[in-house]
């Protein structure tokens, strides 16, 4: 059985809001920012958003399901935007370390993930 490592390169390891840029390119930037703020506020308060407990990362799911189901968003758009992202100090080392010795790491609370400053 293989090991899968998934990293959100949006704000944590990269200094560019890749998801926002992608949705903005397809006319959904305002919807993404609004949902992102509302979901972060709900997650920090331990409340629900769209009928379920709010959590970090819910914005992508919400915008894709609520606003983008009829839009074709090609992978090439995401690749183009991601190529321009600058990594934060230590990101490359983290990926190298995970390749060498994969581990599962999670935050003790979603509030820690959603409380970072917004740009």
Tokens standing for 83?
């190529």
pLDDT in tens, the chain (119 residues): 555 555 555 456 667 777 888 889 988 899 889 998 999 899 889 999 989 898 877 887 888 788 777 778 888 888 888 887 787 788 788 778 877 876 655 443 334 433 344 44
What lies within 8 Å, CB to CB, of 40 at 6+ separation is 54, 56, 114, 115, 118
Specify which residues 52 forms β-bridges with.
Answer: 49
Is residue 81 a contact partner of residue 9, using CB atoms and an 8 Å limit?
Answer: no
pTM > 0.95: no
CA–CA separation, 6 and 20 (whole Å) = 19
Give the count of alpha carbons within 13 A of 49, CB side only.
23
């Amino acid at each position: 059985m293989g090991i899968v490592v998934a990293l959100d390169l949006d704000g944590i390891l990269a200094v560019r809001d890749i998801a926002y840029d992608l949705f903005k390119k397809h006319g959904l930037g305002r919807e993404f920012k609004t949902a992102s703020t509302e979901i972060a506020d709900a997650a920090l308060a331990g409340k629900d958003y769209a009928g379920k407990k709010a959590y970090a990362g819910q914005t992508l799911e919400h915008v894709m399901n609520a606003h983008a189901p009829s839009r074709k968003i090609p992978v090439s758009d995401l690749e183009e935007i991601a190529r321009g992202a600058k990594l934060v100090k230590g990101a490359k080392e983290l990926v190298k370390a995970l390749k060498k010795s994969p581990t599962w790491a999670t935050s003790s609370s979603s509030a820690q993930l959603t409380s970072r400053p917004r740009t």
